[in-house]
Chain A
Amino acid sequence: MMMKRQEKLQIDQLTVRYTTRETSTTALEGVDLHVGEGEFVSVVGPSGCGKSTLLKVASGLLKPAAGEARLDGRVINGVTGEVGMVFQNDALLPWKTVFDNVRLPLAVKGLSRSDQATEVRRLLAMVGLSEFEDFYPKQLSGGMKKRVALARTFAYDPDLYLMDEPFGPLDAQTRVKIGEEFLKIWEKVGKSVLFITHDIEEAIALSDRVVVMSSRPGRIKAEFEVNLERPRPFYEIRFDSRFKELQRQIWNCMAEDEQKGGV
């Protein structure tokens, strides 16, 4: 018998408005979105279409004007402590070393000092930064900072990963490398992910499903299932004909939006 799968994140008819003194911007309107248990969902869309806003609502940092977001069936009302956010700009503490940055969520959780240290060292080894634990963020390259931010989120070990263009500012080569490492780690961890990106290839290579958004106000335009087996080779998968076909479809879908917007 088929059971209705319990969604990790369920967003229904979500509308979000930003109201400043004079203007009111509708960032999202009537957005429906779900992320299943252990599912990897990517959202692509033009910049300013409300992708970050969507994550803010899912994390409980922002209250919607209408509609609701549920985590494990419970309406999200304020920060829940079960989601981990990877911010667009890393959000590392510049005055803390790599070690302390990764230690932060463990310290907040109240682990003992020695447990914190063991866990931090394990995670830093996992992301290949063992030798850099005494460095400050300023001394690291963009890719290394991303690894620290990822290690910190892994340290928190959330049920749902919310990732806001985490590899955005990296150069193409580093991007692929980190994406590959992240995919490998994720395939072992198997937690639910809502991943924001503007890179279609990255979205397909990582995800089970790709959601396309249109802008002003942000709406869900289309969804694409990614039926590529796992574990997948993050880079080589791009030469697969199914990948190419999907890429073409998503590209067309997004281009359509721009034409309409341009008129």
Chain B
Amino acid sequence: MAEANRYRSLQVWGGRIVLGAVILGLWELTSGTLFNSFWISKPSLIIERIFEMVERGTLWFHVSATLQVAVVGLVIGMIAGTLIGIGLAYSGIFERWVYPYIMALYSLPRVSLAPLFIVWFGIGMTSKVLMVVAMVIFVAFYNAFEGIRNIDRDLLDMMKTYKASRLQKLSWVIFPSITVWVLTSLRLNIGMALIGAVIAELVGASRGLGYYITYSSGMLDTTGIFTGLFLIMMIAVIMEQVVVQLERRLLKYR
């Protein structure tokens, strides 16, 4: 059984690595032969660029800026959205009043809010974090709200027959019930947070990966653009892995 599992996971990872190697290999080979490498750059050039950036100390300079905005915004947006979702789910008729407005706001392309935030808060950290919050808060809200509505009624009835207090209901039933939902929204929101951070940096910044990409674009430096994209992807993958580990710990009962 364990043996079969090991074999299976070897197969999966083997396939993934081969596929990745083939794609990068094709890119490397066709660039400069079939296609002009000025437009599509090259994996080897990107790696070279990353080493250059490390040497000059600009890698961490840009990555840390984006990471900071994305993570701070993600945390604030997740907490605020989740709390609003829980609060609204228990607000009775108030929820019916507010819900259509929340959905109307949600349908707004939030990217278009970036200029407004800059007018309000300048191009500092605040406007960027706010941009990320605007990106993540809706999914966080919606998942918490749906999570509450999907709590097993029997479990709540059971708590009621034991005369559990509100706090006891929260800690024994409500929070654990919505954990799955919150983790799902956290996962979805990693991508959203990075979009928010990069967009904010595209609009106005002097550091960060979004800035690095626009700067490279201005210099017609495709290798720089691809390097920025690659680094954003790496951040997403690492953050996703953090959430996967969190899920392993919190949902080990499943």
**Cβ A105 vs Cβ B162 within 8 A:** yes
A54-89 interface (Cβ within 8 A of B): 56, 59-61, 79, 81, 83-85, 87, 89
Q: Give how many B residues have a beta carbon under 8 Å from the other chain's beta carbons.
A: 19
Chain B nearest CB, measured from A30 CB (Å): 25
> Within 8 Å CB of A56, what residues of B?
157
Residues of A that sit less than 8 Å from B by CB: 56, 59-61, 79, 81, 83-85, 87, 89, 91, 93-96, 104-105, 107-108, 136-138, 156
How far is it, in angstroms, between the C-alpha of A81 and the C-alpha of B253 when the chains are bound? 30
Most buried by A among B163, B164, B165, B254: B163
* 9 A-B pairs with the lowest CB-CB distances in the bound complex, closest first: A81-B163, A91-B158, A95-B176, A136-B253, A91-B154, A85-B161, A95-B253, A108-B164, A108-B162
Given contacts A87-B154, A104-B172, A108-B168, contact A94 B254 (CB under 8 A): yes
> Within 8 Å CB of B179, what residues of A?
95
A88 to chain B: closest residue by CB? B154
> Within 8 Å CB of B163, what residues of A?
79, 81, 108
> Within 8 Å CB of B160, what residues of A?
61, 79
> Within 8 Å CB of B242, what residues of A?
none
A85 to chain B: closest residue by CB? B161
- Sample 18 A-B pairs with CB under 8 A, ordered by A number: A56-B157, A59-B157, A61-B157, A81-B162, A84-B161, A89-B154, A91-B155, A93-B173, A93-B176, A94-B254, A95-B253, A96-B176, A96-B253, A105-B162, A136-B253, A138-B253, A138-B254, A156-B162
How far is it, in angstroms, between the C-alpha of A95 and the C-alpha of B168 when the chains are bound? 15
How far is it, in angstroms, between the C-alpha of A223 and the C-alpha of B164 when the chains are bound? 36
Given contacts A61-B160, A79-B161, contact A93 B254 (CB under 8 A): no
B206-237 interface (Cβ within 8 A of A): none
How far is it, in angstroms, between the C-alpha of A95 and the C-alpha of B173 when the chains are bound? 9
B254 to chain A: closest residue by CB? A138
B252 to chain A: closest residue by CB? A136
How far is it, in angstroms, between the C-alpha of A64 and the C-alpha of B208 when the chains are bound? 64
**Cβ A85 vs Cβ B253 within 8 A:** no
- 18 more contacts with CB within 8 A, not counting A59-B161, A93-B155, A104-B172, are A59-B157, A79-B163, A81-B162, A83-B161, A85-B161, A87-B154, A91-B152, A91-B155, A91-B158, A93-B172, A93-B173, A94-B254, A96-B176, A108-B159, A108-B162, A108-B164, A108-B165, A138-B254
Chain A nearest CB, measured from B92 CB (Å): 17
B155 to chain A: closest residue by CB? A91
> Within 8 Å CB of A91, what residues of B?
152, 154-155, 157-158
Chain A nearest CB, measured from B96 CB (Å): 14
> Within 8 Å CB of A156, what residues of B?
162
> Within 8 Å CB of B254, what residues of A?
94, 138
Chain A nearest CB, measured from B154 CB (Å): 4
A84 to chain B: closest residue by CB? B161
Chain A nearest CB, measured from B20 CB (Å): 35
How far is it, in angstroms, between the C-alpha of A256 and the C-alpha of B202 when the chains are bound? 78
Most buried by B among A93, A96, A138: A93
> Within 8 Å CB of B172, what residues of A?
93, 96, 104
B171 to chain A: closest residue by CB? A107
A61 to chain B: closest residue by CB? B157
How far is it, in angstroms, between the C-alpha of A187 and the C-alpha of B109 when the chains are bound? 67
Given contacts A94-B253, A95-B176, contact A87 B158 (CB under 8 A): yes
How far is it, in angstroms, between the C-alpha of A105 and the C-alpha of B160 when the chains are bound? 11
Chain A nearest CB, measured from B152 CB (Å): 8
